[in-house]
Chain A
Amino acid sequence: AQKITQTQPGMFVQEKEAVTLDCTYDTSDQSYGLFWYKQPSSGEMIFLIYQGSYDEQNATEGRYSLNFQKARKSANLVISASQLGDSAMYFCAMREGLVTGNQFYFGTGTSLTVIP
């Protein structure tokens, strides 16, 4: 089974509107971390936001927030007040457990286009 599933290959949003990018995950661990990354066309992967499995509050970083629904195993990224510079690929990722050498698992990404 896929560890991370992103079901939206492409999304469009009007400038200044909010957009939600979906992410579901699969793990049997109690301790894990969820991450979102942004990859512009230039190729670098930029870390955006982190949610720990024991965090009771949804993570927020500026215009980014993570809608964490543990029972549903979803970790959707919400971008508020979209800007043209938000056009990029967005990847959801998970890190299981706290053991040495634990891997990260990435989804296949969502391509976001912000329309002026």
Chain B
Amino acid sequence: DVKVTQSSRYLVKRTGEKVFLECVQDMDHENMFWYRQDPGLGLRLIYFSYDVKMKEKGDIPEGYSVSREKKERFSLILESASTNQTSMYLCASSLQGVGPQHFGDGTRLSIL
């Protein structure tokens, strides 16, 4: 079974902090994705990556950056956290071209 692991299930940070969310997958998937999920808005794509060191902006990249130095790891960075970034963050991975995305358990991030 595919395993996508997010580093934290719950996280509380303060406004202005630099926040790192880590995601690791164990199935050698080329593609990795970061979404945020807010009530009534569904899943919104922040960034995705289809190869090591490659990244593409999604629908809402502002205030975020990503890093993919190794194939299995995709990090989401909140450069200077703000209260409007309080949300559920979901990481996913998939094979190139075909097949479903597989998701981690999500990180509920609160920015105070």
Contact = CB atoms under 8 A, between A and B. Distances in A.
Interface string A34-57: 010100001111110010000000
Nearest to A36: B100
A110 to B, nearest CB: 11
A46 B1 CA distance: 12
Contacts of A109: 42
A68 interface: no
Contacts of A33: 98-100
A91 interface: yes
A28 interface: no
Contacts of A93: 101
Give chain A's interface residue range (CB within 8 Å of chain B): 20 to 34
A30 interface: no
A60 interface: no
B42 A100 contact: no
A42 to B, nearest CB: 8
B42 A106 contact: yes
A46 B90 CA distance: 12
B88 interface: yes
Contact of A43 (B33, B45, B106): B106
Interface of A: 33, 35, 37, 42-47, 50, 91, 93, 95, 98-104, 106-109
